[in-house]
Structure 1
Amino acid sequence: MRRSWRGAVCAAVLVATGLAVDLPAADAAGAAGPRPLALGIYPGGYAGGGSTDPVPDDGAKVVRALDQLHGGPGFLVREYVGYDGTSTDGTDARKYFGYLGHGRKLDLVLGYPGHGTPLAGWETYVRNEVRNAGPHAASISLGVDVNLAAAADPSVVPAVVAGVEAAKDEARRLGLKKLQIGFDEGAFGQAGTAFWQSLATTGGDRFRDSIDYVGLELYPDVFRPSPGDLGAQAVSAIDVVRRQEMPIAGLSDRVAIHVAENGWDTLAPRTEAQQSAALTSELTAINADRGRLNITAYEYFDLRDDKSASANLFDHFGLLNDDYTPKAAFSTYRDLVHRLRRG
């Protein structure tokens, strides 16, 4: 299942709007500087809100592309699975283990189905996914765009809190000390206080002790035109999360920020050259401010177009065309990955 469970949320956005492979934490004061960003990508083509008949991924071509991009051990492979409200088997992520050669690690998103689905089954599913995927993962997120989902479904916030607590408890029980646990929200440059106040009310000390990061879906100049310095816009949106949102829930600067999704589409009249420039501007600015804002990871969305001939912008975020031929931004990201991982 490739992000299909979040399609309605994405549509709402469009309308409304060493060899260490663990993720780096903020360095202690007085150190030479922040560690390099952990870098990665969602290696699929389908995006929630895109075509209703997505093109299946070609696993061999995905692996070849990842081998070119990854730049060394620790490159993140972001994937999405979801609890269906019934089966708590917790082995959904296994189908992506074949992407993890050369020291790559999963950044796994676990989706809650919402609509008041009982939390007991959800927590069991989360624990089982941690048990199966945790040894292969750098991070596990308990939901994506949860601030948008929670606006329509009040059962989402308790599920995020319960999921984070269950995932961290299971990781500790298994001795997975490097596995980071968090959740993802859409970041739009304005503080979403209602969601964060709800999180503060629902999540107590155990939640704050369990969470390692907040992941951000960050798309300047995509769902709402905002021409100009896209790097500055990206950093400004992150700053709002760090300074205005996270303190509401009592999340201190020790809780990292991951740029979990960042992309720019090439639906005409937008061009490949513009996509490459947007990627360069945003990632360069994010990297420059990683120490100040405790940003420890960045992942591009996504590897390939789902349908390059489509009129739907969600089908055009790829660094590759739908036939896996490269756009200009593929080599741009490859070169940035290889340069930035050196610090």
Structure 2
Amino acid sequence: MKFGIYPGGRAGVVCSRPPDRDAIDRLVAELAQGRPFVVREYVHFFGDRGRPEVAALGAQDELDHLTMPDDWYREHELDLVVSYLPAEADPRGWLDFLTTVIDRYGHLTRYLQVTLEPNFPIPLIDGSSPGVLDALTRGVPHAREALDERGLTHTRVGFSVAEPAEWLGGDDAFWEHLSRQRDFADHVDYVGLGLYPDAFSPVPLDAVAPLTEHALRHLRHQSLPRAGLQHLPIHIAENGTPSTPSTSSPQRQADSLTTMLHTILDNAEDLNITHYEQFSLRDADSASPEPVGTLGLVTDTYEPKPAFAAYKNVIATRCS
């Protein structure tokens, strides 16, 4: 199992302060403990018109720099997400943007994720964007070809999905669409899963493990075979649980994270789960009443919470 983390301090539009690069470097090194470590980052395509509701994403400098300097990513394995968030479908602009991203960051990138949770139609997530299914099914082959043309054959290309969106009526239409795409599966190297079983609605601690396992097995045994992707490894692309004062606590966050991690690891061999990435290193806003503000392992001033030690301990004992 390879472990990793998103090191930035933004979650959606929430971000209380700029990143502290020295703190990030120190804390990521402490987690990695000298082992290979995956670092997750995001760039966003907004199209020509842009979208007012995503203007606060703080994405204006992404193509100039990510959270850390370029050389820092050479020490890790960069998992770069290219998110699709235009106001209207723009297939040509999207493919051009993918090429631009590959030209800028391809030499640093180990995993290139094309779209973010296109099966999940909620605001600020790609699944709500016009033309997202075409962006996925055209974007993956385009990215693979562009990487190969540049000799970047070591970069793996994939996409991520949200855990079963049963409260939204499920995502059958998404997988049915993929099942009709001739040769799409030939270009995909992995499928990522965004996993937040207790982040956004109250869940007792004893329900966290079964909810986690349900999401893993649903993806492996129900969803992936429909699209001819059943042979591919699963990456836990995002996993998090908050410490929001009104609904949780720092210790409850650590307990939940530990439960999810052990559930994932206990099922990893059977379900071919090869990567785990935590969202995120730092709280977006430790004072926020919203769960998205307190998903970090450390506060927004980089003070470790109990979840930091919990993740560090799991890496030390289960990393390979």
Class of the TM-score when normalised by the shorter of the 2 chains? 0.7 to 0.9
Could you say which residue in structure 2 is the equivalent of 1:30?
none
TM-score calculated relative to the size of structure 2: 0.86
Matched letter for residue 155 of structure 1: G
- CA separation of 1:127/1:91 partners in 2, compared to 1, >3 Å: closer, same or farther? farther
* C-alpha distance in structure 2 between counterparts of 1:58 and 1:124, whole Å: 32
1:96 deviates by 4.0
TM-score calculated relative to the size of structure 1: 0.80
1:159 deviates by 0.3
* C-alpha distance in structure 2 between counterparts of 1:125 and 1:287, whole Å: 36
- CA separation of 1:311/1:137 partners in 2, compared to 1, >3 Å: closer, same or farther? same
CA contact (8 A) 1:110 1:142 kept: yes
| Residue ranges of structure 2 left out of the alignment (5+ in a row) | 50-60
Which of 161, 185, 210 is equivalent to 1:208?
185
- 2:33 aligned with 1:56, yes or no? no
- CA separation of 1:93/1:68 partners in 2, compared to 1, >3 Å: closer, same or farther? farther
- 2:7 aligned with 1:43, yes or no? yes
CA contact (8 A) 2:162 2:195 kept: yes
Task: Name whichever of 113-122 and 74-83 sits farther off.
Answer: 113-122
Could you say which residue in structure 1 is the equivalent of 2:69?
98
- CA separation of 1:153/1:129 partners in 2, compared to 1, >3 Å: closer, same or farther? closer
Map 1:94-243; keep pairs closer than 5 Å: 94-96=65-67, 98=69, 100=72, 103-149=75-121, 152-188=128-164, 190=166, 192-201=171-180, 203-205=181-183, 207-227=184-204, 228-243=206-221
CA contact (8 A) 2:16 2:300 kept: no
Cα deviations by residue, 1:73-113 (Å, 9 ceiling, x for unpaired): 431111111123249xx972743452736721211110112
1:221 deviates by 1.6
CA contact (8 A) 1:189 1:240 kept: no
- 2:76 aligned with 1:76, yes or no? no
Matched letter for residue 79 of structure 2: D
* C-alpha distance in structure 1 between counterparts of 2:106 and 2:35, whole Å: 17
- CA separation of 1:221/1:84 partners in 2, compared to 1, >3 Å: closer, same or farther? closer
Secondary structure in structure 1 of the residue aligned to 2:69: helix
CA contact (8 A) 2:43 2:63 kept: yes
* C-alpha distance in structure 2 between counterparts of 1:294 and 1:192, whole Å: 22
CA contact (8 A) 2:193 2:234 kept: yes
Aligned length, in residue pairs: 299
CA contact (8 A) 1:78 1:106 kept: yes
1:237 deviates by 0.5
| Aligned residues: CA RMSD | 2.3
Task: Calculate percent identity across the aligned residue pairs.
Answer: 33
Which of 281, 292, 302 is equivalent to 1:324?
302
* C-alpha distance in structure 1 between counterparts of 2:3 and 2:226, whole Å: 28
Cα deviations by residue, 1:57-84 (Å, 9 ceiling, x for unpaired): 1122111111111133431111111123
Which of 53, 66, 75 is equivalent to 2:28?
66
* C-alpha distance in structure 1 between counterparts of 2:209 and 2:196, whole Å: 11
CA contact (8 A) 2:282 2:297 kept: yes
* C-alpha distance in structure 2 between counterparts of 1:43 and 1:195, whole Å: 30
Matched letter for residue 104 of structure 1: H
- CA separation of 1:101/1:140 partners in 2, compared to 1, >3 Å: closer, same or farther? closer
Q: Which runs of 4+ in 1 moved over 6 A?
A: none
| Residue ranges of structure 1 left out of the alignment (5+ in a row) | 1-36
Secondary structure in structure 2 of the residue aligned to 1:217: strand
